[in-house]
Structure 1
Amino acid sequence: MTDMGDAAGTPARRRSGSWRRVATLRRFVMTLFVVGQTLIACYFLLWVLPYHGGTLVELGLLALFALLYMWIAVGFWTGVLGFVLRLAGGDRYSLLNRHAGAELEATPLASTAIIMPVYHEPVHWTLSGLKAVYQDLERSGHLEQFEFHIISDSRDPNVWLEEQATWYRLCRELGAEGRLFYRRRRVNLNFKSGNVADFLRRWGRRYRYMVVLDADSLLSAATIVRMVQLMEREPNVGILQTAPSIINGKSLFARVQQFSNRLYSTLFATGLAAIQMGDAAFWGHNAIIRIKPFMDHCGLRKLRGFGLFRGPIMSHDFVEAAYMGRAGYEVWLEPGLGNSFEESPPTLSDELSRDNRWSRGNLQHLWILLFGRRLHLAHRMALLNGVMAYLASPLWLAFLILTTVEAVQMTVASIDYFPEGHQGLFPLWPEWRPEWALGLALSTLSLLFIPKFLAIVDAVIHGTARQFGGVLRLFVSVLVEIVVSVLLAPVTMMAHSRYVVGALLNLSLTWAGQNRTQETTWRDAFLTQFPGMVVAAAWSAFAWSIDPMFFLWSLPVAIPLVLAAPTSVLLSRVSVGQALRNWGLLVIPEERAPVEVLDDARTARRDAGDVSLLTSVEEAVVRPSLNRLHQAMARNIRLARRAELLAPLVERCGKEGPGPLSRGELSQLFRDRQSIAELHQLAWQSPPDSFWGQRITLLGRNR
Structure 2
Amino acid sequence: MLTTPLPHETLDAPRAGDLRADRPYAATEAWQVESGTPGGKVPRDGKRRRASAVLLRRRLALALPALATGGTIAALAAAAYPITGWLGALVLGLFCVLMAWQSFTAWQYLYGLIAAGFGDRAKSALERRSDGPVPAPSGRSRTAAVVAIHAEDAVAVFAALRVMARSLARAGAEDIDLFVLSDTRDGAIAAVEEHEFARIQAWRESAGPGLPLIRYRRRTENVGRKAGNIGEFCETYGHAYDFMIVLDADSLMTGAAMRRLVGLMEENPRVGLIQTVSYAAGRDTLFARVQQFAVRLYAPLALRCLETWQGPDGSYWGHNAILRIEAFASNAALPVLPGKAPLGGEILCHDIVEGALLRRAGWEVRLVPEMGGTWEEMPTNLVDLLGRERRWCQGNLQHLSVLPWKGLRAASRWHLAVGILSYLMLPLWIAFLGLGTWQAARTGDLGLLGYGLTGTGAAAHALAALTVAVLALPKLLSLGHVLVSPERRAAFGGTRSLLVSAALEQLVWVVLWPVMTLFTAGAVVSTFFGRVVRWDAQVRDDRRVPWTEAFRLQADAVVLGAVLALGLVLAGDPVLALWMAPLALALITSPAQSVLTSSAELGRLTRLRGLFLTADDTAQASELAELHQTRALPAPAKAAHREPQAAVLLAADEA
Shorter chain as denominator, the TM-score bin is 0.7 to 0.9
Does residue 378 (structure 1) correspond to residue 411 (structure 2)? The answer is yes
Give the deviation of 1:44 after TM superposition.
1.9
Corresponding letter in the other structure for 2:613: V
| SS in structure 2 of the partner of residue 36 of structure 1 | helix
Does residue 94 (structure 1) correspond to residue 120 (structure 2)? The answer is no
Corresponding letter in the other structure for 1:454: L
* 1:484-525 C-alpha deviation (Å, 9 max, x unpaired): 111111111110011112211222322222221221122222
Q: Distance in 1 between matches of 2:594 and 2:130?
A: 48
Select 2:106's aligned residue among 76, 94, 99. 76
Q: Distance in 2 between matches of 1:609 and 1:350?
A: 22
Q: Distance in 1 between matches of 2:456 and 2:224?
A: 54
Aligned pairs for 1:294-333 (under 5 A) are 294-333=328-367
Radius of gyration: which is bigger? 1
Aligned to 1:681: none
Aligned pairs for 1:92-171 (under 5 A) are 92-99=122-129, 105=135, 108=138, 110-142=141-173, 144-171=174-201
Q: Would you say the 8 A contact 1:544–1:551 is kept in 2?
A: yes
Give the deviation of 1:115 after TM superposition.
0.7
Q: Would you say the 8 A contact 1:91–1:97 is kept in 2?
A: no
Q: Distance in 2 between matches of 1:65 and 1:519?
A: 38
| SS in structure 2 of the partner of residue 501 of structure 1 | helix
Percent of paired sites with the same residue: 31
Evaluate the alpha carbon distance shift between residue 566 and residue 222 of structure 1 in structure 2; reply closer, same or farther with a 3 A threshold.
same
Aligned to 1:531: 556
Aligned pairs for 1:502-541 (under 5 A) are 502-515=526-539, 516-541=541-566
Give the deviation of 1:409 after TM superposition.
5.0
Aligned pairs for 1:685-696 (under 5 A) are none
Q: Which segment drifts farther, 244-253 or 93-102?
A: 93-102
Q: Distance in 2 between matches of 1:148 and 1:97?
A: 25
* 1:365-424 C-alpha deviation (Å, 9 max, x unpaired): 11111x211111111111111112222111111112322443455469xxxxxxxxxxxx
Q: Would you say the 8 A contact 2:130–2:371 is kept in 1?
A: no
Q: Distance in 2 between matches of 1:396 and 1:599?
A: 41
Give the deviation of 1:21 after TM superposition.
2.3
Give the deviation of 1:608 after TM superposition.
5.3
Corresponding letter in the other structure for 2:294: S
| SS in structure 1 of the partner of residue 245 of structure 2 | strand
Aligned to 2:232: 198
Q: Distance in 2 between matches of 1:102 and 1:531?
A: 53
* 1:157-182 C-alpha deviation (Å, 9 max, x unpaired): 11111011101111110139992111
Evaluate the alpha carbon distance shift between residue 409 and residue 593 of structure 1 in structure 2; reply closer, same or farther with a 3 A threshold.
closer
| SS in structure 2 of the partner of residue 443 of structure 1 | helix
Corresponding letter in the other structure for 1:32: L
Does residue 493 (structure 1) correspond to residue 517 (structure 2)? The answer is yes
Does residue 481 (structure 1) correspond to residue 514 (structure 2)? The answer is no
Evaluate the alpha carbon distance shift between residue 291 and residue 14 of structure 1 in structure 2; reply closer, same or farther with a 3 A threshold.
farther
Aligned to 2:450: none
Select 2:203's aligned residue among 168, 173, 179. 173
| SS in structure 1 of the partner of residue 164 of structure 2 | helix
Aligned pairs for 1:262-411 (under 5 A) are 262-369=296-403, 371-407=404-440, 410=443
Give the deviation of 1:538 after TM superposition.
1.2
Q: Which segment drifts farther, 261-270 or 250-259?
A: 261-270
Give the deviation of 1:113 after TM superposition.
0.7
Aligned to 1:461: 484
- TM value normalised by structure 1: 0.80
* 1:544-569 C-alpha deviation (Å, 9 max, x unpaired): 32333333332242222122122222
Aligned to 1:594: 620
Evaluate the alpha carbon distance shift between residue 9 and residue 303 of structure 1 in structure 2; reply closer, same or farther with a 3 A threshold.
closer
Structure with bigger helix share is 1
| SS in structure 2 of the partner of residue 141 of structure 1 | coil
Aligned pairs for 1:658-669 (under 5 A) are none
Q: Would you say the 8 A contact 2:168–2:212 is kept in 1?
A: no
Corresponding letter in the other structure for 1:536: G
Q: Distance in 2 between matches of 1:509 and 1:169?
A: 36
| SS in structure 2 of the partner of residue 368 of structure 1 | coil
Give the deviation of 1:22 after TM superposition.
2.0
Q: Distance in 2 between matches of 1:100 and 1:14?
A: 26
Does residue 580 (structure 1) correspond to residue 606 (structure 2)? The answer is yes
Evaluate the alpha carbon distance shift between residue 306 and residue 439 of structure 1 in structure 2; reply closer, same or farther with a 3 A threshold.
farther
Q: Would you say the 8 A contact 2:386–2:519 is kept in 1?
A: yes
Give the deviation of 1:295 after TM superposition.
0.9
* 1:67-118 C-alpha deviation (Å, 9 max, x unpaired): 2212222221111222222222245442445549779837826211111110
Evaluate the alpha carbon distance shift between residue 257 and residue 216 of structure 1 in structure 2; reply closer, same or farther with a 3 A threshold.
same
Q: Would you say the 8 A contact 2:122–2:308 is kept in 1?
A: no
Q: Distance in 2 between matches of 1:460 and 1:497?
A: 35
Aligned to 2:6: none
Give unmatched runs, 5+ long, in structure 2. Answer: 1-22, 446-453
Evaluate the alpha carbon distance shift between residue 497 and residue 234 of structure 1 in structure 2; reply closer, same or farther with a 3 A threshold.
same
Aligned to 2:242: 208
Give the deviation of 1:435 after TM superposition.
7.9
Q: Which segment drifts farther, 390-399 or 446-455?
A: 446-455
| SS in structure 1 of the partner of residue 401 of structure 2 | helix
| SS in structure 2 of the partner of residue 311 of structure 1 | coil
Q: Distance in 2 between matches of 1:467 and 1:178?
A: 32
Give the deviation of 1:442 after TM superposition.
5.1
Give the deviation of 1:220 after TM superposition.
0.9
Select 1:447's aligned residue among 470, 487, 500. 470
What is the count of residue pairs matched by the alignment? 605
Q: Distance in 1 between matches of 2:111 and 2:301?
A: 8
Select 1:617's aligned residue among 643, 649, 653. 643
Give the deviation of 1:617 after TM superposition.
3.2
Q: Would you say the 8 A contact 2:71–2:100 is kept in 1?
A: no
Q: Distance in 2 between matches of 1:22 and 1:556?
A: 46
Q: Would you say the 8 A contact 2:137–2:175 is kept in 1?
A: no
Give the alignment's Cα RMSD to 1 decimal: 2.9
Q: Distance in 1 between matches of 2:414 and 2:65?
A: 17
Evaluate the alpha carbon distance shift between residue 48 and residue 528 of structure 1 in structure 2; reply closer, same or farther with a 3 A threshold.
farther
| SS in structure 1 of the partner of residue 178 of structure 2 | strand
* 1:617-659 C-alpha deviation (Å, 9 max, x unpaired): 3536999xx9xxxxxxxxxxxxxxxxxxxxxxxxxxxxxxxxx
Evaluate the alpha carbon distance shift between residue 525 and residue 166 of structure 1 in structure 2; reply closer, same or farther with a 3 A threshold.
same
Q: Would you say the 8 A contact 2:281–2:292 is kept in 1?
A: yes
| SS in structure 2 of the partner of residue 249 of structure 1 | coil
Evaluate the alpha carbon distance shift between residue 58 and residue 20 of structure 1 in structure 2; reply closer, same or farther with a 3 A threshold.
farther
Q: Which segment drifts farther, 387-396 or 171-180?
A: 171-180
Q: Distance in 2 between matches of 1:96 and 1:469?
A: 31
Give the deviation of 1:214 after TM superposition.
0.7
Q: Distance in 1 between matches of 2:593 and 2:136?
A: 53
Q: Distance in 2 between matches of 1:543 and 1:121?
A: 47
Corresponding letter in the other structure for 2:426: S
Corresponding letter in the other structure for 1:375: L
| SS in structure 1 of the partner of residue 342 of structure 2 | helix
Evaluate the alpha carbon distance shift between residue 410 and residue 451 of structure 1 in structure 2; reply closer, same or farther with a 3 A threshold.
closer
Give the deviation of 1:58 after TM superposition.
2.8
Corresponding letter in the other structure for 1:358: W
Does residue 24 (structure 1) correspond to residue 56 (structure 2)? The answer is yes
Evaluate the alpha carbon distance shift between residue 62 and residue 270 of structure 1 in structure 2; reply closer, same or farther with a 3 A threshold.
same
